[in-house]
Amino acid sequence: MEPESLESRINRATNPLNKELDWDSIDAFCEQLNKELEGPPLATRLLAHKIQSPQEWEATQALTVLETCMKNCGKRFHDEVGKFRFLNELIKVVSPKYLGTRTPDKVKDKILELLYSWTLGLPQEVKIAEAYQMLKKQGIVKIDPKLPDDSPFLAPPTRPKNG
C-alpha cells in the first residue's frame, strides 16, 4: 500500500461529510506524524488550518484530532503545540479581534477547555499557560472551564465501542 501523506490523512479525519468521528483516520494521523521527521510542525500547520474552518463540524473534528494527538503523541508534538506560532492560531479563533465573532461557541469552548487542560497536564509548556493567562486578562476566559470528570489530560477521549 502507498503511504499516505499527513495532508490526505487530516482531510479524511476532518471530512465534513463524516457522519461520526473517524477514529481510524484520527489514529492514523497521530501515528504518521510521529514517524515523519517534520511531522509535528507540518501536523500543527494542517490542524490550525482545519480548526479555523467556518464549518463547525470540520473544526470540531480537527479539535478532536488535536486532543487525541496531545494524548498519544510524544514530546516533539507537545513542543510544537507549545509554541506561540501554533497557540496564536488557536487564540485567533477565540478572540473577537480576529475570528472569534464568527466562530461557533462550541468550538470556542472546546479550545478554551483544551488550553486549560494542557496548562494542568503539561505545566512544562510555559507558553501554553502564558497564552491562557493572556486570554483571561483579555476577558475571553471568564472562569476556568469545567473539565470532564475523567483525568483532565491523560485519559483518552471517550470513544464508542466497535461492534
Partner 1 sequence: LGEESEERDDHLLPM
The residue (of 26 and 115) whose beta carbon lies closer to partner 1 is: 115
From the CB of 112, what's the least distance to partner 1, in Å? 15
Closer to partner 1 by CB, 44 or 68: give it.
44
* Alpha-carbon 32 to chain mean position: 16
Q: Contacts by 70-74 with C-beta closer than 8 Å and gap 24+?
A: 70/114, 70/118, 70/122, 70/153, 71/153, 71/154, 71/155, 71/156, 71/157, 72/27, 72/30, 72/156, 73/30, 73/33, 73/34, 73/40, 74/34
Measured in whole angstroms, the distance separating CA 18 from the mean position of its chain's CA atoms is 18
Distance, in Å, from the CA atom of 41 to the CA atom of 145, rounded to the nearest integer, reads 28
14 or 39, CB closer to partner 1? 39
84/159 with CB nearer partner 1:
84
For residue 163, the minimal CB distance to partner 1 (Å) is 45
Taking the complex as a whole, the smallest distance from the CB of residue 17 to partner 1 amounts, in Å, to 32
Where on the chain is the footprint of partner 1 (CB under 8 A)? 83-85, 87-88, 91-92, 95, 97-98, 127, 130-131, 134, 138
* Shortest distance in whole angstroms from residue 29 CB to partner 1: 24
Question: Which of 44, 69, 68, 33 minimizes the C-alpha distance to 159?
Answer: 68
Cα 33 to Cα 55: distance, rounded to the nearest angstrom:
24
Q: Smaller CB distance to partner 1: residue 10 or 128? A: 128
**Shortest Å distance, C-beta 33 to partner 1:** 19
